[in-house]
Chains A and B, each alone.
Chain A
Amino acid sequence: MRGDIACPGCDLLLNIGTLKHSESASCPRCGNFLTKHREDAYDRVLAFASAALAFLIIANSYSFLSFSASGLESTMTLRQTPGALWDYGLPAVSVLVAAFIIVIPAIILVLMLVLCIPLRQGRHHPWLAPVAKFTFLAQNWAMVEVFIIGVIVSLVKIAAMATVEIGESFWAYVAFTIFFTAAVASLDRYQCWERIEALGAGTQ
């Protein structure tokens, strides 16, 4: 029946009916958040995701941090963060870091754009379900906000040894983190799948 949902946290069967704009539902038994409906969800996702993508490109184009000690200077770009680990013989960590902070977030953003444009326009495509599936599967493995904390901790650590200068890319990455988090938060899993199903039913 429409509006039927089982809480993924405790399996309680509920009917949440049709939510109004900016109404959200949580499980009354275990308190798990279920879904939030927003009329403008896809507009928000598209806006935030394209902004995030633009800032990610900027973050990859300039220097991220630079530091100087004893008259010598060294600069680092975002890509060198995983790159240096590779050079020191830790390719596995290097690949993981690159995946968590650049590759997976970038893939998620592109998939969200591909997904939300037809969802917004109300057009059905057979590839909507697999695209949505990969978007949601990948979301657990993006760690952009964790990386920002890592940068701040590093800054404090280095500040004790030498002078650090923050590059343009750092600020771009901060902006990217904000927009990325907002985009992911705007794409509600339950609503998105209901929409895909409704569009699919309409074409058959």
Chain B
Amino acid sequence: MTTAASKGLSTCHLCFKLAPADVHHCPRCDSAMHLRKNDSIQRTLALLITAGLLYIPANLYPIMYTDQLGTTEASTIVGGVILLINLGSAPVALVIFVFSVMVPSGKLLAMFYLVWTVERHSPLDPRQRSIMYRVTEFVGKWSMVDVFVVSILVALIHLSGVLVIRPGVAAICFAGVVIITMIAAESFDSRLIWDNMSDDMDDESNELQSDARPPL
């Protein structure tokens, strides 16, 4: 299997143009070109840690407040899911649970796992890890559902004195988590998963060669 890198070619991440590795700007679309994304692992890890930290206030603080006839009720993301189950709308509770709890936390775990396996030169099935990366990349923006729900409820429900819904600070934390994990997924270079495999193969062939060398 020949990779572009082994032929001394880098691919433009935006327009797929192939160019010699010493070309720094894509001849076709003028994007910055690299053999591999710059400092992919460090950047991804830094963004993941940031998102992980933001995820704490996003879950602890209320995402919205409901003022109904003089009483104020604060609800967190998980509280909203429980409320929906109590209201009897289990399917919608499931949607919110999947998009707001499972997807962001699963995405963080999956990205940490990918970074960790790449760093450790793990021999685990690269194709499966590639699929894992693509799924992570694809589901990323779907976590914004909860932020959109808050923005719709806030805009629609403002009957002062009777029923008012106000946004909470968790909304911005959660929007931050979603955006930062999206950038983290984008800064991760999935080709690194495969580079490890070909490195290992090179090592093996080198060893074979050294074994085959006649003793002096």
- A contact residues vs B (CB 8 Å cutoff): 4-6, 8-13, 29-32, 65-67, 69-70, 72, 74, 76, 80-85, 88, 90, 92-94, 96-97, 100-101, 129-130, 132-133, 136-137, 140, 143, 146-147, 149-154, 156-158, 160-162, 189-190, 193, 196-197
Assess the B191–A97 pair: CB atoms within 8 A.
no
Known A-B contacts A9-B134, A13-B7; A189 and B15 likewise in contact (beta carbons under 8 Å)? yes
Alpha-carbon gap, A38 to B216, bound state (A): 63
Q: Known A-B contacts: A30-B131, A150-B149. Give 20 more (CB < 8 A).
A: A9-B130, A9-B133, A10-B191, A10-B194, A12-B1, A13-B3, A29-B194, A30-B130, A67-B157, A69-B159, A74-B159, A80-B155, A84-B155, A88-B167, A90-B172, A92-B175, A130-B29, A147-B144, A190-B16, A193-B15
Contact with A along B155-172 (1 / 0, CB 8 A): 111110011001100011
CB-CB under 8 A from B146, the residues of chain A are 150
Q: Are B162 and A72 in contact (CB-based, < 8 A)?
A: yes
Listed stretches B41-49, B52-60, B89-97, B204-212; interface member: B89-97
> Which residues 102-148 of B sit at the A interface, judged by CB distance below 8 A?
126-127, 130-131, 133-134, 141-142, 144-148
Interface SS of chain A: helix, strand, loop or mixed? helix
- Residues of B near A5 (CB, < 8 A) are 16, 18
A-B contacts, 16 of them at CB < 8 A, read: A10-B126, A13-B4, A30-B194, A31-B131, A72-B162, A90-B167, A97-B151, A133-B14, A143-B141, A150-B144, A150-B147, A153-B96, A154-B149, A161-B163, A189-B15, A193-B29
Count chain B residues whose beta carbon lies closer than 8 angstroms to a beta carbon of A.
65
B interface, CB within 8 angstroms of A: 1-7, 9, 11, 13-18, 28-31, 84, 87, 89, 92, 95-96, 99, 126-127, 130-131, 133-134, 141-142, 144-159, 162-163, 166-167, 171-172, 175, 179, 182, 186, 190-191, 193-195
Q: Which residue of A lies closest to B16 (CB)?
A: A190
Contacts of B167 in A (CB 8 A): 85, 88, 90, 93
A203 to chain B, nearest CB (A): 15
Known A-B contacts A146-B144, A193-B28; A11 and B151 likewise in contact (beta carbons under 8 Å): no
Q: Which residue of B lies closest to A34 (CB)?
A: B16
Q: Which residue of B lies closest to A97 (CB)?
A: B151
Decide: B191 and A11 in contact? CB cutoff 8 A. Answer: yes
Shortest 3 CB-CB contacts between residues of A and residues of B: A150-B148, A6-B4, A84-B155
Which residues of chain A are within 8 angstroms of B191 by Cβ–Cβ distance?
A: 8-11
> B3, A12: Cβ atoms under 8 Å?
yes
Evaluate contact between B29 and A133: CB separation under 8 angstroms.
yes
With A65-B152, A153-B95, A158-B153 as contacts: A196 and B28 at CB distance below 8 Å: yes
Determine the distance from Cα of A69 to Cα of B18 in the docked complex, in whole angstroms: 61
Chain B's closest residue to A69 (CB) is: B163
Question: Residues of B contacting A13 with CB < 8 Å?
Answer: 2-4, 6-7, 9
Residue from the list B6, B16, B157, B163 in contact with A189, Cβ < 8 A = B16
A93 to B6, CA, bound (A): 45
Residues in B neighbouring A150, C-beta threshold 8 A: 144-149, 151-152
